[in-house]
Amino acid sequence: MSWNTCNLRRICVALGLLLAAPEGAIASHVSLGPRPPYLVDGMEDGPLKEKLTACIGTPARHSDFSIGHRGAALQFPEHSAEGYRAAALMGAGIIECDVTFTKDKELVCRHSQNDLHQTTNILATDLAGTCKVPFSPAEGEQTARAECLTSDITREEFLSLKAKMDGADKTATSVEDYIAGTPGWQTDLYASGGTVVTHAQSIDLIRSLDAKFMPELKAPKVAMPFDGFSREDYAQKLIDEYKAAGIPPENVWPQSFDLQDIRYWIENEPEFGAQAVYLDGRFGRDGVDSQDPSTFSPSMKELKAMGVNYIAPPIWMLLTLSPEGRILPSAYAVEARGAGLKMIAWTLERSGPLNSGGGWYYQSIADAIDGDGRLYEVLNVLAQDVGVSGIFSDWPATVTFYANCMGLD
């Protein structure tokens, strides 16, 4: 039997039994499935393809270079127990929980405080009445809309919800059609009843999967302080839940787009702050040229002097094209590395098929992106030339395969 046939059977069995599989069994086994060979097969002939081809079928292990972005969000509901287990099964050494808070100030895993209408079944439950913006159908030029916040429901109410694939059909005239708006290149096959989790529950689960932690403190969508709960309280509570669970600081990379959160951790929780990740979203600000690091303030050297050790921009900020069309490290990447900052890139497998430039995540190298076979070329430049410490992916097997093949931890 060929490797492809054998492994396809294994991944189908693994995915089919995922919900019932004991967590310890997932933690001790890595199953990469058919996607990495599919991506390698689409590559242009050359040394990289030869190297990766030779690795197909070799035993796989977990790698901290492979970071499960919101779990395994390409095919599983993001921030669900099922998605976290799938990420671990695919060898993610680190798994992300985006952190926000409920009405009773309990921390839960959601990408945003106001995304329940897109990522859960709340609109089809009795909790729909708690939504800040009730569902209204599309009519004429007005698109369908709704907005539901975690801060408008309690922890127990949150746990009564079911996670679904992130998406909403803005042309819908019914709740059922609105919440069924999964992008066409994703699937609802594993999304019939995703299990939402609190931050504390995610810690217990991810630990049981022998993975490490990359929580992101999400920007509040309500005025702070919230019922006496300050931004500093919020940042501290995230760390306190790891301390209460006995998680070593070296196994946690707390993240935020807000530099003040990073500085709070550096100053008040220095053991955790040493691995705090500054998510760089400054490319959207006035006066900032994303390809000119001199326009960024603070500068890379100033960030390092503050005690920042990790910076995480989107993939496209780390890459550029040579006049001949080769993918190269950007000036931003060179500047960050020169300042001694470690880099983490986001996000692979989030753009759908790469046959038309790759979309937002590949915008600086769009002219070189003409199909899925380019993905490992991009990953290789990030790993070998830019020198990133890890890569977020919505399908961690893709990065795990590469990391195993190249001997990355």
Q: Which tokens is 272 given?
A: 């955790």
Is residue 157 within a helix (H) or strand (E), and if so which, with residue range?
Answer: helix 155-159
The torsion region of residue 43 among left (phi > 0), alpha (psi -120 to 50) and beta comes to beta
Mean pLDDT of 178-204: 96
What 3-state DSSP class applies to 96? strand
Model pLDDT for residues 247-261, shown as the tens digit of each residue: 999 999 999 999 999
Which range is least confidently modeled, 7-11, 195-199, 368-372? 7-11
Contacts of residue 392, defined as CB under 8 A and 6 or more positions apart, other chains included, come to 67, 68, 69, 96, 344, 345, 346, 347, 348
Model pLDDT for residues 338-391, shown as the tens digit of each residue: 999 999 999 999 999 999 899 999 999 999 999 999 999 999 999 999 999 999
Q: Which tokens is 220 given?
A: 């509040």
Domain boundaries, given as residue ranges, for the chain: 3-101+196-406
The torsion region of residue 67 among left (phi > 0), alpha (psi -120 to 50) and beta comes to beta
pLDDT of residue 24: 52
Nearest to 104 by CA among 159, 162, 163: 159
Which range is least confidently modeled, 31-45, 252-266, 281-295? 281-295
pLDDT surpassing 90 at residue 161: yes
pLDDT surpassing 80 at residue 81: yes
Q: Which fold has domain 3-101+196-406?
A: TIM Barrel (3.20.20)
Distance in angstroms between the alpha carbons of the first and the last residue of the chain: 31
Whether the model pTM is above 0.75: yes
Whole-number Å distance between alpha carbons of 135 and 164: 17
Whole-number Å distance between alpha carbons of 351 and 267: 37
pLDDT surpassing 80 at residue 228: yes
- Sequence letter at residue 26: I
pLDDT surpassing 70 at residue 46: yes
pLDDT of residue 291: 83
Contacts of residue 268, defined as CB under 8 A and 6 or more positions apart, other chains included, come to 236
pLDDT surpassing 60 at residue 5: no
Tokens 């496209």 belong to which residue?
Answer: 316
Whole-number Å distance between alpha carbons of 18 and 121: 21
pLDDT surpassing 70 at residue 173: yes
Whole-number Å distance between alpha carbons of 402 and 75: 20
Tell me how far apart the 2 most distant CA atoms of the chain are, in Å: 63
pLDDT of residue 409: 83
Which range is least confidently modeled, 11-25, 38-52, 156-170, 361-375? 11-25
pLDDT of residue 71: 98
pLDDT surpassing 80 at residue 11: no
Q: Between the CA atoms of 322, 328, 330 and 331, what dihedral angle is there, to the nearest 10 degrees?
A: -70
Mean pLDDT (the chain, rounded): 93
Nearest to 346 by CA among 293, 307, 388, 304: 388
Tokens 């709960």 belong to which residue?
Answer: 229
Nearest to 95 by CA among 77, 111, 83: 83
Q: Which tokens is 139 given?
A: 């009519």
DSSP annotation of 393: E
Model pLDDT for residues 59-73, shown as the tens digit of each residue: 999 999 999 999 999
Alpha helices in 185-311 (DSSP H): 199-208, 231-244, 259-268, 270-273, 300-306
Confidence of residue 9 (pLDDT cuts 50, 70, 90): very low
What 3-state DSSP class applies to 207? helix
Q: Which tokens is 114 given?
A: 């106001």
Percent of the chain with pLDDT over 70: 93
Whole-number Å distance between alpha carbons of 156 and 399: 36
Model pLDDT for residues 101-139, shown as the tens digit of each residue: 999 999 999 999 999 999 999 999 999 999 999 999 999
Mean pLDDT of 305-321: 98
Nearest to 44 by CA among 304, 399, 370: 370
pLDDT surpassing 70 at residue 19: no
pLDDT of residue 354: 96
How many other CB atoms are found less than 10 A from the CB of residue 54?
11
Mean pLDDT of 35-49: 98
pLDDT of residue 239: 99
Cis peptide before 298 (omega within 30 of 0): yes
Question: Please, are residues 87 and 206 in contact by the beta-carbon 8 Å criterion?
Answer: no
- Sequence letter at residue 137: P
pLDDT surpassing 80 at residue 8: no
pLDDT of residue 91: 98
pLDDT of residue 286: 87
